[in-house]
Structure 1
Amino acid sequence: MSEKLEDIARALVAPGKGILAADESTSTIKKRFDTINLASTEDSRRDYREMLFRSTEAMKNHVSGVILYDETIRQKAKDGTPLVDIMKAAGSIPGIKVDTGAKPLAGPTSKVETITEGLDGLRERFAEYHKLGARFAKWRAVITIADGYPTWNCVKANAHALARYAALAQEANIVPIVEPEVLMDGPHSSHDIDECYRVTEWTLRTVFRELYDARVNLEGIVLKPNMIIAGQKSPKQASAAEVAEKTVKVLKETVPAAVPGIAFLSGGQSDAVATEHLSLMNASGPLPWALTFSYGRALQAAAIKTWAGKPENVAAGQRAFAHRAKMNGLAALGKWSQSLEKAA
């Protein structure tokens, strides 16, 4: 594979393929394992992720890259093969989560707003991750909508951190996934779709202004935004068609055509709903960038439930994962349908 940033970025958003977000922190994967009554240990986390990465049909045909957690990029499979090598053999690009999480933003808004940390020592960490095989990275900024929120201080601070991270990534010849997420869930999620649109437009405009100031090469990034969706607690939920229409509209107004691709986060949507929204967007007509997926739970929920931590369920878990990957691969081409979903 080419080592040019632009080529790596294009490969991550190749037609019919998307990104598996398998970068759950140790605390997050524990919550997922709690639902299947499985203890979260280094071995159980390895076994689960090995099951996904050895799902040949999904990985070869529909997964362009995998975002990993620090533990996972260093792990070996049961037979001693580095997990990174298993991914590469399947044609998927290894990636790495590099932020250290969202922390309360200092000041009077600290009970609501956060700033993502992890810039200290990032240049050195990037050098190590490149040696370990990572060719792209992820940094997530979190924007909360509430009464009087977000503040300009929060939007600007997170956009600036995203730009500094992206510049450091490209310096290390690593493609940055730029992820500004306007939350649709959580305790402050009663906003309607129009408020999501307003805040997302504001956030994206600010992010791209900061990326420009940091001289980030837009042809060597992937954007990972939220879709335009009403908050989960909003009494007025939009149709799938409206979500697709408003998401494409805000992207056309804010994202330069130089960006090769946009890989959406699922952000609390159910598996099939996230797939439907993506497919409708791609079916809406020609777009200046590729639109695909970078899903975590929306790709893995069925697989983890089917696997249930039992060796005898590995093949069934892989089939469940392959189905969701295939459905989203079709959505990335604008060819998904309810009938295909049910035919599985």
Structure 2
Amino acid sequence: MNHDSLQATAKALIAEGKGILAADETVGTITKRFESLKINSTENSRCAYREMLFTSPGVSEFISGVIMYDETIRQTNARGVPLPEVCTRLGIIPGIKVDTGAKDLAGSPGEKITEGLDGLRDRLTAYYNMGARFAKWRAVIQISDRHPSQTCLAVNAHALGRYAALCQEQGLVPIVEPEVLMDGPHSIERCGEITGHVLHTVFNALYAQGVSLEGMLLKPNMVVSGKECTKQASVQKVAQATLQCLCRHVPAAVPGIVFLSGGQHDRLATAHLNAINILPSPKPWKISFSYGRALQDAALEAWHGDNNNIKAGQQALYQRAKCNGAASLGKYTEEMEGNASRKRMPAHRADWHDD
């Protein structure tokens, strides 16, 4: 393990005013997105879409890294240049999703365990040789009257710790993503309670498995009301509850926290990030973003599967990246959205989740 290299990469990923583009949807997930817009999902169309995103002019001003899926990291552009190299040339650090998805947890109906540890060391070596310098593993935690169980928390935390240790051994910065899902009618207070319990359990596992906190990033959910909760918390309350939870449970040695959007509408995710960053409370870590849908949705809709719309898709991504870059500095305003800010937007996206 090269601690200096890991720390340098982690710091580069949370450079001032920058965040991470999560473009690591599985084939099944991105196909659902394409089909919702009547776009034909093929290996070529998926490659064209990802290349459009990665090569958006000026986007590296606000995007430090991009998380790819296995299919994507093996693809090339029209000139035969591997997509990781395309990103590197543009000053964007390539990353890779390495878990194989959340599966039913035996003996605990309604809960999930993320799989993918088998053969991970060899896969990490191969991904590093393809150009990846960081990785991501996502655990999903469901809130209900009975969930999460201690078993669910323990096994997912252990897997995150094992994954993170293997990443650092192979020279990749691990992004540790324990996501408490927004699904359900739970209150923001219940979300805060469970999120705190999850983070406490995860960092115990990371410590137990010798993970260098300085060479990793945390990708948590924000503390929000459940999607079906009749009383949705305000932006200010979300910011306060989220920062309080982080201060209680995330060690100061962690260099950065890059939030997932988790189904929030793109502009709401931006507003929440900005509100967290402008709070006067001390923040020992950089706080930024690692958004998927909250960065991609406008770009996908503008592109719509037609290469004649590449410029429009890239402009849409640039706009969202610019707004989130400003939010990571606490400098976002609704005026930055232009005419779009006058439109009323829903709080949440559809019910399917990023992988």
TM-score (norm 1): 0.96
State yes or no: 1:337 paired with 2:330: no
Distance in 1 (alpha carbons) for counterparts of 2:81 and 2:315: 22
Q: 1:301 aligns with which of 294, 297, 304?
A: 297
**1:196 correspondence with 2:191:** yes
TM-score by length of 2: 0.93
SS in 2 for 1:56: coil
1:210 aligned residue: 205
Letter in 1 for 2:190: E
1:326 aligns with 2:322: yes
State the Cα distance separating 1:56 from its structure 2 match: 2.2
302, 305, 310: which one aligns with 1:314: 310
Is 2:221–2:262's contact at 8 Å kept on the other side of the alignment? yes
The equivalent of 1:224 in structure 2 is 219
Specify the alignment match of 2:20 in structure 1: 19
Q: Where do 5+ consecutive residues of structure 1 fail to align? A: none
Distance change (3 Å), C-alpha of 1:321 and 1:3 = farther
Question: How many angstroms apart in 2 are the aligned matches of 1:162 and 1:61?
Answer: 31
> Partner letter of residue 103 of structure 2?
K
Secondary structure, aligned partner of 1:80: coil
Partner AA of 1:44 in structure 2: S
- Report the Cα offset of residue 79 of structure 1: 2.0
Q: Aligned residue for 1:254?
A: 249
Q: Is contact 1:56-1:90 (8 Å) kept?
A: no
Q: How does 1:39-188 map to 2 (within 5 A)?
A: 39-58=40-59, 60-107=60-107, 109-110=108-109, 112-185=110-183
Task: Please give the alpha-carbon distance, in whole angstroms, between the structure 2 residues aligned to 1:37 and 1:80.
Answer: 28
Letter in 2 for 1:61: E
1:37, CA displacement in angstroms?
Answer: 0.8
User: d(CA) in 2 for partners of 1:56 and 1:180?
Assistant: 32
Instruction: Work out the CA distance in 2 between the residues paired with 1:13 and 1:82.
Output: 24
Shift of 1:40: 0.7
CA distance in 1, matches of 2:236, 2:205: 32
Does residue 30 (structure 1) correspond to residue 31 (structure 2)? The answer is yes
Shift of the alpha carbon at 1:339?
A: 1.3
Corresponding residue of 1:269: 264
Residue deviations 1:53-108, cap 9 Å, x none? Answer: 110211x201100000001001001221211111111111000000000000000x
2: distance between equivalents of 1:76 and 1:263? 28
Tell me the amino acid that sits aligned with residue 161 of structure 2: A
Deviation at 1:284, TM superposition (A): 1.0
Amino acid in the other structure paired with 1:193: I
Shift of 1:306: 0.4
Letter in 2 for 1:139: W
Question: How big is the shift at 1:147?
Answer: 1.3
Contact 2:114 2:140 in 1 (8 A): yes
User: Cα offset for 1:342?
Assistant: 2.3
CA RMSD of aligned residues (A): 1.1
Tell me the SS of whatever aligns to 2:25.
coil
Which of 268, 276, 287 is 1:281 aligned to? 276
Deviation at 1:3, TM superposition (A): 7.0
Query: How far, CA to CA, are the matches of 1:217 and 1:139 in structure 2?
Result: 16
Q: Tell me how many residue pairs correspond in the alignment.
A: 337
Which string of whole-angstrom CA distances, capped at 9 and with x for unpartnered residues, describes residues 300-330 of structure 1? 0000000001111000110000000000000
| Cα distance in 2 for residues equivalent to 1:54 and 1:10 | 23
Aligned to 1:243: 238
Aligned-pair CA distance for 1:343: 5.8
1:22–1:68 Cα contact (<8 Å) kept: yes
Matched, 1:290 2:291: no
Give secondary structure in 1 for the equivalent of 2:44. helix
Letter of the 1:32 counterpart: R
Q: Do the aligned residues in 1 keep the contact of 2:65 with 2:92 (CA within 8 Å)? A: yes
Counterpart residue identity of residue 342, structure 1? G
Q: Percent identity?
A: 56
